[in-house]
Amino acid sequence: MSILDPFLRNIDPIAIKKIDKIEKEKQISRQDFFKNWFRKKGGTERDKEL
């Protein structure tokens, strides 16, 4: 584990089950799922202007 690895807290258990189902269908790890999600959704409007 690296210092840059994010920790997510207080996530709804139902959401985790749905994410696990998607992971299983796509055959990816939870870490890869979140990494891809953050890449797609990440950044603020200010960041996008840079």
User: So where are the chain's domains?
Assistant: 13-49
Cα-Cα-Cα-Cα dihedral sign, residues 29, 35, 38, 39: negative
Residue-level length of the chain: 50
Predicted local confidence at residue 30, as pLDDT: 83
Predicted local confidence at residue 20, as pLDDT: 86
Task: Give every CB contact of residue 45 below 8 A, 6+ residues apart in sequence.
Answer: none
Mean pLDDT by 10 residues, the chain (50 residues): 64 86 88 80 61
Task: Give every CB contact of residue 20 below 8 A, 6+ residues apart in sequence.
Answer: 30
Tokens of 6: 């994010």
Predicted local confidence at residue 43, as pLDDT: 62
pTM over 0.75: no
